[in-house]
Amino acid sequence: MGDLSKNFSRSEFKCSCGCGYDDVSLELVSVLQKLREVFNAPVTINSACRCKGWNKEVGGAEKSQHLLGTAADIVVSDVPPALIYQYLDRSYPESYGIGKYKSFTHIDVRQRRGRWG
C-alpha cells in the first residue's frame, strides 16, 4: 500500500499548504507503523511536515518538530487520544515528544524526552 512502510505513503505526510514539502523522518514512520499494528487500527495523519509559512499560519511553535519532518499529529481510529498518549509514553519513556490533546495525539522523534497535555 504505502511507499514508506506497509501502511504509510509519503503523500500522507506532505505539508498541507500545497508546497510539496514531504521530507519525513523514517524513524517517525516506523513509530507510526508500530502504533498501527499494536492497535490494529488505521492511523490518520492530521498534520506532519510543515513549511515555515504553513507552520506560522497554523500557530505552530517557532522551532516546531513539524518543520524538520520529525512530527505528526495523529488520530487512531476508535482509540481515544489519552490511550495513545499512554501507550507512547510507556513505549518510549526516555525520548520523543508526546502531546495529548482532546481530539488528537502529537508524536515527534526528538532524542530528548518532552511531554505535555
Domains observed in the chain: 10-116 (3.30.1380.10)
C-alpha to C-alpha distance for 34 and 80, rounded to whole angstroms:
17
C-alpha to C-alpha distance for 86 and 29, rounded to whole angstroms:
19
C-alpha to C-alpha distance for 114 and 89, rounded to whole angstroms:
10
**Which pTM was predicted?**
0.95
54-63 LR contacts (CB < 8 Å, sep 24+): 54/15, 54/16, 54/17, 54/19, 57/17
The per-residue pLDDT for range 39-95, each reduced to its tens digit, is 999 999 999 999 999 999 999 999 999 999 999 999 999 999 999 999 999 999 999
